[in-house]
Amino acid sequence: MTSQDFQLVDAHCHLDFPDFAEERAAVIDRALAAGVTRMVTICTKLKNADSVRAIAEAHDPVFWAAGTHPMSAADEPLASVEDLVALAAHPKMVGIGETGLDYHYTAESKAVQQESLRIHIEAARRTGLPLIIHARDADKDMARILSEEHAAGEYRCMMHCFSSGAGLARAALDLGFYLSMSGIAAFPRSGELREIFEAAPLDRILVETDSPYLAPPPHRGKRNEPAYTAHTAKVGAELFGLSLPDFAAKTSGNFDRLFAKAAAWAPERSEA
C-alpha cells in the first residue's frame, strides 16, 4: 500500500514550534508523501498569531487555528472575543483554540483557565468555527463547562488529543462533539483509551499528531511530525475493523464536516 491509496488529515500540529524551524518545508513534504494531505497548525499564544498565519499562507496544505493554551492562560493577556473573531476573518483560519483546562501542571490558575475557556467558546459561537479543546486532569470541570455553555448556545468542538476518561468522552459525544486520536492511542499501555475510541461513533473520530509531541510507535520518544499521522490511523483502522484507506476516508470526511471552512477553501491560482 502506498500513500496514494489514502488521504489523511493531521487535525492538530504545531508547525511554528522551534523543533521544525530548520526544515519546515521538508516536514510538510514528508507529510504529503505519507498521504497526509492537509494539516492544521495551532497557535497557542495570540502574540504568535502572525507567524502561525504566515505558515498557512506559505503552504497550500496547511490551515491554522488560534487561541490561548490553558497552561499559558495566567501568563498571557486574556484574549477577548473580539480578538478571536478578528483573527477568524482570515480565509485559512479554521478553528478557535487550543483552549481548555489543564490541572496537571497549572491547577493554581484554574479560575483564569475557566474564564479564558468561556471566552473562546463564545468566539466559536460567533464565528461558527469549531472549538479546539485541551483537557488534562480536569474532566469534571470540563464536562460541566462544556455542557453549561452548550445549553446557553450551541457550538461545535473537537476534543484534541483525547486521553481523558470515559465520562468526559460520553459527555462530549452527547453534545455532538468529536474525539481526536493522537499517538497516545497507539502506545502499548493505552488499552483503556483505545476502548473509549472503539466505543465512540466512527463519524465522530479525527486523527492528529500534536507534533512535535507524542510520536506514535515506531517513533515514540523522537520528535513527532505530521507524516506520522498514518501510524495512529493504522491503529484506528484496526479498532474499527477497517482498511487504512477506508478509515482515512471516514476521518477525512469527519474533518470536512467539522472544519467546513477548510473543506471549502481553494487556493487562488494566477492566470497563465
CA 235, 239, 244, 248 torsion: positive or negative? negative
CA 238, 27, 211, 94 torsion: positive or negative? negative
Nine cell digits for residue 71: 497552561
CB atoms closer than 10 angstroms to residue 133: 30
Q: Is 150 annotated as a binding residue?
A: no
Q: Is 154 annotated as a binding residue?
A: no
Q: In what order do the strands lie in the sheet with 93-102?
A: 8-13, 36-43, 62-66, 93-102, 131-136, 157-159, 178-181, 205-207
Distance CA 180, CA 9 (A): 11
Describe the chain by its helix, strand, coil percentages, rounded to 5: 50, 15, 35
Q: Is 69 annotated as a binding residue?
A: no
Nine cell digits for residue 219: 517513533
Q: Is 59 annotated as a binding residue?
A: no
Q: Is 134 annotated as a binding residue?
A: yes
Q: Which helix (DSSP H) or strand (DSSP E) does residue 63 occupy?
A: strand 62-66
Angle between helices 166-174 and 191-199 (to 10 degrees): 20
Q: Is 12 annotated as a binding residue?
A: yes
- Say if residue 188 is preceded by a cis peptide, omega within 30 of 0: no
- Binding site for a divalent metal cation, residues? 12, 14, 98, 134, 160, 210
Annotated binding site: 12, 14, 98, 134, 160, 210
